[in-house]
Amino acid sequence: MRGVLLGPQQLRQSLGTAVELLGREGPVALITCGWQEREDQDEELSALFGRETRNLTLYARGEEVLAEDREFFNAHRARQDQLRQIQEFYRLRLERVFDAALDIDRKAQGSDIAADELRLSFEQIRRLDQEHLERVTALREAWELQMKPLERPSIARHRKALTALLRECRLLAISGGHVAVMLNRLRMFGLVELLTDQSLIAWSGGAMVTGGRVVLFHESPPEGVGISEVLDAGLQLHDGVLPLPNPKLRLKLDNAFRVGWMSRRHAPLQCVALDQGELVSFEDGRWFGAEGTVRLNPDGTLTTGWAS
């Protein structure tokens, strides 16, 4: 697949540049379900893309399915409750281990065992991430096996309509928004399986959900310790990069300890900070970053722009 991942578009828009880079003709299939009930407020996007859009309205379709198919609604709700609980307990473990790592860093600083102790904490976190990812994936797969969502008439009807909409589009654009809602709707309709040869334009949260894993992050939130957490596997439409949109708001890029940890924690994925309007493009596993794109390195340093 070919595609472009972008940072937030509120203050600096680069969707037109992404379209030019990909050079595909025709209207853009648009997914804005991350905006939830505002998903149809997409009037400005056609102008930014420089062409017509076809909004797939996945959020509204999902609401229709939930209203119409009571059995699916109940099963879906029960699964979401389970996922929320698992996420909460994982976060609890994560915070304790991270707090301990910070304490160890303070107390062991300068001593011979400091590096070893920190490595142990770090490995614990990597293990927690991996186990969480496996649990969430197993739960989801078991649920899908049982419920067979794509075969349910309530969903199959929408998939047919989506197939028709996608047939006329060579570009698929996914906006930012609520990443859990996006994942939920994209999976509910098995959207990835409906794609043919479309190229991808995904910004902010859209860039996050289309990769290998979805990592939630905010290093200075109004509450909590500000450690990032794995939410789920992504849709695997691109591989090799972990997009981190809006770093000025959400990351402490001047903190080498945090930068290094973030980078090593999610390796072999390459952490890439995407500020407003910044972009990276990919084609057949190769990545190209524009000048303003920032990579987080394992040693806590930052590198601007690259071509792999």
Partner 1 sequence: MSPLRIDGLVRGQLTLDDFLKDQSFPLVEGTRVTFIFNGPAEAVHLKSWVYGLPNSQPLQKVENLDLWYLTLDIPRRSRVEYKFEVVRAGHGAWILDPLNPHRATDPFGANSVVHGEGYVVPEWTRLDPEARPGTMEPWVVKSRAFNDTRRFHVYLPARFRKTRRYPLIFVHDGPDYVRFANLKVVLDNLIHRLEIPDVIVALSGSPNRIGEYADDERHARFVTEEVVPDLEKRLPLLGTPKGRCLMGASFGGVASLSTAVRYPGFYGRLLLQSGSFAFSDIGQQNKRGPAFDPVVRFMNRFRENPTMVAEKAFISCGMHESLIYENRSLVPMLQATDMELRYVEARDGHNWENWRDRLRDGLAWLFPGPLRMVYE
Residues that bind partner 1 (CB under 8 A): 8, 10, 34, 36-37, 63, 66-67, 176-180, 204-205, 208, 216-218, 221-224, 229, 231, 245-246
Q: Closer to partner 1 by CB, 180 or 194: give it.
A: 180
Q: Determine contact, residues 274/245, Cβ cutoff 8 Å.
A: yes
Instruction: Write down the least CB distance from residue 222 to partner 1, Å.
Output: 4
Instruction: Write down the least CB distance from residue 203 to partner 1, Å.
Output: 9
Q: Closer to partner 1 by CB, 10 or 304: give it.
A: 10
**Alpha-helix residue ranges (DSSP H) falling in 12-113:** 15-22, 43-49, 58-68, 70-108
- The span from the CA of 163 to the CA of 263, in Å, is 38
Q: Closer to partner 1 by CB, 180 or 237: give it.
A: 180
Q: Closer to partner 1 by CB, 10 or 146: give it.
A: 10
For residue 231, CA distances in Å to 25, 35, 89, 186, 247 come to 35, 18, 12, 15, 18
Instruction: Write down the least CB distance from residue 64 to partner 1, Å.
Output: 11
Q: Closer to partner 1 by CB, 166 or 275: give it.
A: 275
Instruction: Write down the least CB distance from residue 145 to partner 1, Å.
Output: 25
Q: Closer to partner 1 by CB, 34 or 149: give it.
A: 34
Alpha carbons within 13 A on the beta-carbon side of 22: 30
Instruction: Write down the least CB distance from residue 23 to partner 1, Å.
Output: 27
- The span from the CA of 168 to the CA of 272, in Å, is 32
Angle between helix 70-108 and 114-147 (nearest 10):
180
- The span from the CA of 205 to the CA of 285, in Å, is 21
Q: Closer to partner 1 by CB, 55 or 118: give it.
A: 55
Question: What sign results for the dihedral spanned by CA atoms 199, 205, 208, 210?
Answer: negative
DSSP H/E element including 126: helix 114-147
Instruction: Write down the least CB distance from residue 58 to partner 1, Å.
Output: 15
**Alpha-helix residue ranges (DSSP H) falling in 189-246:** 191-194, 205-209
Instruction: Write down the least CB distance from residue 149 to partner 1, Å.
Output: 17
Contacts of residue 118, Cβ cutoff 8 Å, sequence gap at least 6: 101, 104, 105, 108
